[in-house]
Structure formats: structure tokens, C-alpha cells
Amino acid sequence: MSEFDKTTKLRFSNPTEPSYICLGTVKDRDLAFWTVQAPGVCDTVLRLTSSQCSQPRTDVATLFEPSAAAIIDAVENQRRLATKPIQRTSTLDRSTRRLTTAQSIFLVGGFAASDSLFSKLQGHIRPLNLDFCRPDSHINKAVADGALAFYLDHRVSARVSKFTYGTQCAVEFNKNNEQHKLRAASAIPRPLGHMVLPNTFSAILHKGTAVSETKDFRKDFITECAERTSCDTITTKIVCYRGDASNPRWTDSEPGRLLF
């Protein structure tokens, strides 16, 4: 079943040609006949040759029918319930003086990679004066539920941060701090004459924090430069911490683990 789902289901495109399912390795060359019985789908003899099972074209095509019929029913039901006609419309863009069209249906998810399913649905939807599209690649990465609905109706008021985010910086050396004492050998001087400890992590957004759409997370930092020109442009990276510490302080405290 796994092999059918990963290969045969996606490669099947022509109902007039048989489909093949890989059941072994290239060394498996024993001829055999298997009888497969699936109520409502197939009841036939399949030939197993060179580790490939040849499945009649009619059986594979039948497997696509329930999904295709369900999608077509959903499209027709949506057209009936719509307050405005769902069809391709043209509007004039006054800035470019060009006509733009709207009303499209997008097929996403792993099953969208099937040329047979896409072709069958396209044959029904295109005559309805609608555009029918699917992503060019990485179809199985497209999330059907929520990807478009979020822009239409912001039902999610906040999201919870899964990790801690911040930036790597340096902190002024404090001889009275026990952790700083352990790192005294790594202290370096700065242009103003004081000593700082590198490899410090400063958290800006902690794990488990609720983040709303309009909320900003900010933190002030100071930089020292020996030459004024080096302060013209200052950039830094936002670092993600994936460890278990609730308040990580150092980027090198857990050697051997790629937590940042």
C-alpha cells in the first residue's frame, strides 16, 4: 500500500495503459500470479514479474473515481451556495489599463500530484469558466486547510512560540558574578576600556509566549566602534534556541548539541 501511495498513485495518468507496483528488488524474477479481491474495486489476476506487479488500467482508474466525484460535488455545492456567481470575471486595472481575471480553484495536497486526477477535474471545471490550477512542485507541502482561510477570516488571534528567539551578543564582565568568573579567561577588551564576555545569548521572544498578529518584540542593544564609519550600517542575526533551558544565557554552554 505504501509503494502504491508513493509511486503508482502519482504516476498514473493514462487510463488506457496498465500500472505497475514495485513489490521487491530487481533480483526477484520468479514468475507468479496473484489473485486480488477488493469488493467494489477489483477481482482479478495480477502478474508479478521482475519484482513488479502489473495492475489492469481499469482497476487503478476506479480507485480515483470516489475522490474525483467528491471534489466535483464540493465544487458544484459551493457554486450553488454562493451569493454571487462563481465564474471567471474580468476587471480593468486603471493604472496599467489591462484586464485582470479572477475566480480560480487550486488543487493542493499530496493527491494533487496525480496527473489523472488533475486531468479529470480540469475537464469538468474548465467548461464552468473557472481557472483550475495546482502548484508546479512540492505539492505535498501545500496545506489545504487554513492556508487561504486565514486571510479570509482571522480566527486565530494568537500563536504560541515553539522556540526561544534572540540574538548572540556580548555582556559586560562582572567579577562578582560566579558564571562570569568561570569565563574570565575569555573576556575581551572593548574600545571604551571595559571587558566583555562573548558568546552571550540574549532572548527576545521566549518559548511559550503568545504572539498576536500586531504585537512586536523589541530589545535595545549597544555597540562600540573604534571607527565611526563602521557604525554606518549595523546588522545582526536572529537566533533560534531549540534546547530545554527556560532562560538560556550562553551559546556555548551545551557543546556537541546544535541548539542554535
pLDDT tens-place values along the chain, 260 residues long: 565 666 665 555 565 666 555 555 555 555 444 444 444 444 444 454 444 555 555 566 677 788 889 999 988 888 888 777 666 655 555 555 554 455 788 887 777 878 888 888 999 988 888 888 887 765 655 455 555 666 666 666 788 999 999 999 999 999 999 999 999 999 999 988 899 999 999 999 999 999 988 889 999 998 888 888 888 888 889 999 988 888 899 998 887 666 76
Task: Give domain status of residue 164, yes or no.
Answer: yes
Task: Give domain status of residue 220, yes or no.
Answer: yes
Which residue range is the domain that position 137 belongs to?
65-152
What is the model's pLDDT at position 198? 94
Task: Give domain status of residue 142, yes or no.
Answer: yes
The verdict on 47 and 107 lying in the same domain is no
The verdict on 106 and 129 lying in the same domain is yes
**Residue 243 CA to its chain's centroid (Å):** 23
Alpha-carbon torsion (150, 151, 153, 156), positive or negative? positive
The verdict on 22 and 84 lying in the same domain is no
pTM reported for the whole predicted model: 0.45
Question: In this predicted model, what pLDDT tens digit does every residue of 217-236 receive, in sequence order?
Answer: 999 998 888 888 888 888 88
Task: Give domain status of residue 246, yes or no.
Answer: no
The verdict on 131 and 103 lying in the same domain is yes
Task: Give domain status of residue 130, yes or no.
Answer: yes
Residue 200 to residue 71: CA distance in whole angstroms: 54
Domain count of the fold of the chain: 3
What is the model's pLDDT at position 106? 84
Q: Please identify, among 133, 152, 171, the residue that sits at the C-terminal boundary of a domain.
A: 152
Residue 24 to residue 75: CA distance in whole angstroms: 40
